[in-house]
Structure 1
Amino acid sequence: MYEPKRALVTGGCGFIGSNFINYIFHVWPDVHFVNCDKLILNSDACYVDEEVRSSERYQLVTADIRNSEVVRRILNENKIDTVVHFAADCTSTRCYGDPIESVENNVIAFIKLLDAVREYGAVKRFIHISTDEVYGDSDLSEDEKGKLEDSLLLPGNPYAATKAACESYAHMYRQQFGIPIVILRINNIYGPNQWDVKACCYCYCFCHYSWSLEPSQFKC
């Protein structure tokens, strides 16, 4: 079983990244963590538990991963062997309002991170956090068989398109440069540290869809 020693977590002050750190900090009791986050609107350093923040095993670097010099310094000075990449702008309004900026924040930043990892050459595991939205909308009929790992990607919004592009670069860097990348396509998540705007949106969509169903259509 793979055992990390020194992990870089990008976007670890965001909703999902902070919950990951708060959990994995205890699961990997001997691992040193470096959290690189530029602390945008929906991020907060205090989302990471005080117990973690006060530990010698945790370090926060406030920086944009597009700054390759900073990323290279983090990798080399901390002898990073594991990267978990959460950092992304997933705010729909910003992605729709400025799709070029969303490409800069999500795709260009990811490529720069990959290239820094390639130059560094000592990362043994790279976990890229993607989204189920790369598949596009699902058919809600009874014939819907769900999405599989090799299902066609049909992203239907700017954010999903950036994540699909990132997956393409992840595959390329794995094949061309041997970077050991694992891609996770996670579903909609809710919980502590979630930005209120997205939580309200999910709640509305769930209720709206639920009200349109007959009792016999609910499935567990």
Structure 2
Amino acid sequence: MTHTVPLSDIRVLHTLGPTGTNCEAAAKLWFDNRGIDGEVVLHPTLEEAATVMGRAPHAALLGCVVYPDLHTLVFSNLEQFSLADLFIMPTHDMVLASRTGEAPAVVSTHPAPQRLIPDELVPGGVQRRLVNSNAQAALDCVRGLSDGCITTLIAAEQHDLAIVKNYGPVPMGFSIHVPRMDAAPAAASKPAEQREASFDVV
């Protein structure tokens, strides 16, 4: 038999990084709302986060409902973890940013918000460069791997990128997945103590 870890026992949330992602903000909010001084551990992908989490007794995975292949992650791990909580939080402002402030021709973006990039942004259309997270998109832009990025406002400001367009916050759903633990076998009840009855012979 198995059981799931109670939400009240969670002290570590594994989720998508690097720092500046909406998942990181959601994980911090989840702990804050419960008055828990918890730890948020960031990973390049949710798939890696799930692997590292394993069946740690006080850890859980925080996902996002628009994460590509979240359904695959869930159905591939039915024996490893279970969906235990869902909540809605506005994302950071989502922005199109570039190093120069000019409209970028090559844009790094996570697959989920890529439709925020208008095809007519530059003559000849925009080349989309898919990456693992909004924060990673900002990092790749700074490193010169693209001219611009779709990212969060906090990540753009962290890397001194110029805002080309601010799309504002987006109401977003986040999920908490807790490990399924092997249940300890129930303690066998002790047989009633046998006592030798004594009878008075009449």
TM range (shorter): 0.3 to 0.5
Between Structure 1 and Structure 2, the one with more helix by share is 1
* Higher relative contact order, chain-length normalized (CA < 8 Å, sep 6+): 2
User: Whose Rg is larger?
Assistant: 2
The normalised TM-score by structure 1 is 0.32
Between Structure 1 and Structure 2, the one with more strand by share is 2
